[in-house]
Structure 1
Amino acid sequence: MAGPGGKFWIHDKLSTPAVHHQSFKALWETKWKPLCDMGVYPFMFGATKDFQPVVDEIISKDLKEPYDWDEYAQCFFPKAKQLVAEAASAEKEGDKPKASELYLRASALYRIARFPAPRSEKQRNAWELGKCAARKGLSLHEFPMFEVAIPHTKHASPGDGATLPAFYHVPAGASSAAPVPLVIIFTGLDGYRTELAVWKEGWRQVGCATLIVEIPGTGDNPGAAADPASPDRVWSSMFDWVALQPEIDQSRVVNWGFSTGGYYSIRVAHTHPDRLRCAVALGGGCHYMFDPVWLDNADHLEYPFDLAHTLCYKFGYGKDFTRFKAEAMEKFSLLNDGTLNKPCTKLILVNGTEDEIFPIDDYHLCLQHGSPKRARDRKHMGEPESFMIILQELFDVLDIKANPGKFLSTLPFQPKY
């Protein structure tokens, strides 16, 4: 490990619970309301005026950890359904901008209803309803984004699904005669394609296509959650599909993985280096993130809910946290399986020494193995400062002349209706 004495860099902080774990009220007041007011993660496309009545109900019920996820999710449904109904009326009247916004605002409510992962019946229902609302909202936007179904058959193994659903946007004017760069976004543990679609507009304005996909064990990724090799198979299918898109400049394809998606960016940079010009791992880990000591403490640190148990679900162990702790490091570590010692494409690692979600020790480990990488130190993911750094790096790689600050101005959401 990277800390003094072979300990985690933040070893002395592991036993100190964060205040927001005391109750949903504490989470909202100390962490989430400011983010909702700004319309940024995890409230992409969200409006405080939609969330506040829901929050008031949750607080009145004094919901806290361990949550009854069905009870929690149900609180969001009435307001979300109201917005969908209003959006449908606006769509019928031909008011596309209003309909688009209202559908997306509904999708934000459904997103937080199933947050951090759909582990109960009503959370799974929220995920399905949220997808429908997001598809409608994105398709009615001035610059629409549509869903594509990438076949996953040639590379699939038993236990895999047959398709990789993704949101895909290509700027106007892109063609085989005028191909554009492609940014492939790997989503994280809790933010799926329905909300990371928020990145489309910035990339559109600088002339790039975007493809947004979930990682195995989340959303609709077809990769078997408990199979360490499933991502390699899924990404092979994805890259085969990308290679068939004539509007994409195949020499300018990059990847950006967010948080848990950073684990997969590190992996894809080593397993498919010939398919990418560059990969960015923003947050995430590769080895120590599976350490039992880390997992025993992660539930009460920076993450808003039970991080370790959500990871247990995501990696295919369901509720069997004891077995997940015992097996995860050996099974999923990119050090133990030799991935880190393979050659890789240009890989940029961005995280912080104070991160309480994934240990910075993992990025120190990456720097000690395989091809040289670039690294930058921030707090967990370091938003929004880290975005400035990453965007400038990607602009340079893709030969784009653009202003990262102007790009980032496309991310915050404020309602107009």
Structure 2
Amino acid sequence: MTFAGRYWIQKRIEEENHQPHARLGVLWETRWRALVCISRFTLCVVSHRDIVGNQSMQAQKRIYPFMFGRVEDFEPIFEKIKDMERPHDWGEYASAFLDTAARLTSTAQEEENNGNLQRASEYYLRASAVYRIARFPIPRHPTQSQAWELGKAVCIKGLSLRPNPVAEVRIPFVHAMAGEGSDIPAYHLVPIPAHQGASVPLVIIFSGLDGLRTELAVWMEGWREIGVATLVVEIPGTGDCPVNAKDPKAPDRLYSSLFEWIGTQHTIDQNRIAVWGFSTGAYYAIRVAHTHHGKLAGVVALGGGCHHMFDETWLRRCDWMEYPFDCAHALAWKWGYGHNLEEFIQEGQDRFSLLKDGTLDSSSCAKLLLVNGMEDEIFPIDDYFLALQHGPPKEVRLVPGRLHMGEPESFGICLKWLHQVLGIADADVKRQLQALTETPVFYN
């Protein structure tokens, strides 16, 4: 529900503030440049609201969307494209990043050939950060698709050169329909006890609209350190997810295939499996909590939606709010509508609403935690109010005064809850969050 037909952030919806979106140079100077904040010891990213409030940039650590990145890599690029305005030429936009990414990749290869694997890993990952922003928020041009292909190649290369290497696995998509892919690409990391024959808990991470397995991989090492395996998978319509994005039932076939594969993994404790969905991935987390409740010890839906996210009023406004690019257009592309935003606006809610399809009123649901910032301008917080009024009881934690996903406080909330659900005693949340922050070591 919305309150008397008004959203929680109705006043913000009615405002006309296009400043952060006017030109790419404005976005870089007012928001993104501060997100690539590097000191000698720490790569830290801070929330936009903390930047505006002139709080200490070392105080609130975030890393999105510039994880693995260096400001020196991006500054010259944004200087070249600073005057680009909407509607963007996505080919021209993406092309501006390719030379820098190629140079970093070449340096990484040289370091690898010389046996300097730590340096090589860092340069591969720096290259992946540049390719990421080139294809951001979702590939809509062949050059952006090229950036995605090159970016995921250097990302897994960098991750595989670490002391605890991340592996890419191909999970059979046994419930695929005609025209869909045959496997589900995922990143997988298991802790030492699993290599020694023990079974360990598993956290399945559902990535979002623009943060894919190449980005959400930043969470894997922190979970490994406390003895938990991770599996990072992409949601329909993004990355390499093999399903028909326009099919509302496709996620059910996707996750049935996923859980069948997990059931064959003797290193995984089948009674301690959780899902953590990020942003658009939280929509799918809510769905899987209902459709596959028997497989899950718990589910966290961080920053998602379920019904009002498809409202025409919301979709016509969200292009000009918190999201740095054209949010509604990117969502239309993700849900299989390509450039046809109007068709998505007219059909999306009837096709994908978890209220209209009966999901929220299912008789069974896994233990489910809903978390978000109350001022979210990407997906309306009203969707979580709605979810609480349907189906089995759920848990909720809303973060006052915070935007999308309720960062940075929300991360600690989610981690503590997952530790409890998975029976992990004495885990250090602060240390786990520190594992997110990559420390640039090499400055040449």
State the TM-score, normalized to the length of structure 2.
0.91
Alpha-carbon distance in structure 1 between the residues aligned to 2:202 and 2:408: 22
- Separation in 2 of the partners of 1:28 and 1:354? 22
How far, CA to CA, are the matches of 2:329 and 2:276 in structure 1?
Answer: 25
Match of 1:352 in 2: 373
Residue in 1 that maps onto 2:204: 184
- How many Å separate the matches in 2 of 1:345 and 1:230? 20
1:175 positional shift: 4.7
Tell me how far apart the structure 1 counterparts of residues 179 and 147 of structure 2 sit (CA, whole Å): 25
Give the equivalent residue in structure 2 for 1:66: 87
Partner residue of 2:429 out of 399, 404, 407: 404
Cα deviation digits, residues 181-216 of structure 1 (max 9, x gap): 101000000000011111111101111111000000
Partner of 1:165: 185
Q: Percent identity?
A: 54
Q: Give the structure 2 partner of residue 220 of structure 1.
A: 240
What does the per-residue CA deviation read over 1:327-371, in whole Å, with 9 as the maximum and x for residues that have no partner?
000000000000001111000000122111000111011100011
Could you tell me how far apart the structure 2 residues matched to 1:116 and 1:250 are?
A: 35
The code of the aligned residue for 1:404 comes to V
User: Partner residue of 1:56?
Assistant: 79
Measured against aligned partners, the alpha-carbon deviations of 1:270-325 in whole angstroms (never above 9, x if no partner) come to 00001110000001100000000000001000001000000000000011111111
Q: State the Cα distance separating 1:411 from its structure 2 match.
A: 1.1
Contact 1:176 1:247 in 2 (8 A): no
1:92 matches 2:113: yes
Deviation of the 1:159 alpha carbon: 3.3
| AA of the residue aligned to 1:399 | G
Task: In structure 2, give the amino acid aligned to 1:123.
Answer: Q
What is the match of residue 6 of structure 1?
5
2:173 touches 2:182 (CA, 8 Å); kept in 1? yes
Structure 1: distance between partners of 2:337 and 2:95: 25
**1:277-288 aligned within 5 A:** 277-288=297-308
Residue number in structure 1 paired with 2:50? none
Give the equivalent residue in structure 1 for 2:65. Answer: 42
2:194 aligned counterpart, secondary structure: coil
Q: Return the offset for 1:160.
A: 2.1
User: Is the 8 Å Cα contact of residues 311 and 349 (structure 2) preserved in structure 1?
Assistant: yes
* Runs of at least 5 residues in structure 1 that lack an aligned partner in the other structure: none
Question: How far apart, in 1, do the equivalents of 2:179 and 2:381 lie?
Answer: 33
Partners of 2:263 and 2:270 within 8 A in 1: yes
| Matched position secondary structure for 1:52 | helix
Q: Which residue number corresponds to residue 28 of structure 1?
A: 28
Q: Deviations 1:104-141 (Å, cap 9, x if unpaired)?
A: 11000000000000110100000000011011101111
In structure 2, distance between residues paired with 1:27 and 1:275? 42
Report the equivalent of 2:279. Answer: 259
| Residue 367 of structure 1: aligned partner | 388
| Aligned residue in 2 for 1:120 | 141
* Count of equivalent residues: 413
- CA contact under 8 A between 2:203 and 2:274: conserved in structure 1? yes
Amino acid at match of 1:34: A
Name the CA shift for 1:135/1:402 in 2 (closer, same or farther; >3 Å). same
Conserved 8 A contact 1:261-1:284: yes
CA distance in 1, matches of 2:76, 2:227: 39
Equivalent-residue separation in structure 2 for 1:377 and 1:31 (angstroms): 24
Within 1, Cα distance between the matches of 2:225 and 2:207? Answer: 21
CA RMSD of aligned residues (A): 1.1
Q: Which whole-Å CA distance do the structure 1 matches of 2:409 and 2:249 have between them?
A: 33
Task: Measure, in 2, the Cα distance between the counterparts of 1:240 and 1:57.
Answer: 48
SS in 1 for 2:277: strand
Q: 2:344 is matched with which residue? A: 324
CA distance in 2, matches of 1:177, 1:192: 30
Partner Cα distance (1:91, 1:109) in 2: 19
- Quote the residue 1:382 is aligned against: 406
Could you tell me how far apart the structure 2 residues matched to 1:7 and 1:238 are?
A: 39
Secondary structure (helix, strand or coil) at the match of 1:256 reads strand
Question: Which stretch shifts more, 74-83 or 47-56?
Answer: 47-56
2:296 to 256, 272, 276: 276
Residue type matched to 1:31 in 2? R
Hey, what's the Cα distance between the residues in 2 that align with 1:201 and 1:149? 20
Q: 1:124-139, aligned counterparts within 5 Å?
A: 124-139=145-160
Report SS of the residue matched to 1:6. coil
User: What letter is aligned with 2:27?
Assistant: L
Structure 2 CA distance, aligned partners of 1:160 and 1:335? 27
Per the TM alignment, residue 412 of structure 1 is displaced from its structure 2 partner at its CA by 2.1
CA offset digits 1:80-118 (Å, max 9, x no partner): 000100000111111111111100110000000000001
Match of 1:314 among 331, 334, 337: 334
Correspondence 1:76 to 2:97: yes
* Preserved contact between residue 193 and residue 227 of structure 2 (Cα < 8 Å): no
Task: Write out per-residue CA displacement over residues 156-193 of structure 1, whole angstroms, 9 at most, x where no aligned residue.
Answer: 12232111000000112315841111010000000000
Q: Which runs of 5+ in 2 are unaligned?
A: 38-43, 46-62
> Is residue 373–residue 407 contact of structure 2 (8 Å, CA) maintained in 1?
no
Tell me how far apart the structure 1 counterparts of residues 122 and 11 of structure 2 sit (CA, whole Å). Answer: 45
Q: Give the secondary structure class of the aligned counterpart of 2:168.
A: strand
Please report how far the alpha carbon of residue 384 of structure 1 lies from its aligned counterpart in structure 2 after TM superposition.
1.4
Give yes or no for contact 1:165–1:221 (8 Å, CA) kept in 2: yes
Q: For the Cα contact (< 8 Å) 1:280–1:349, is it kept in 2?
A: yes
Letter of the 2:81 partner, please give it.
Answer: I
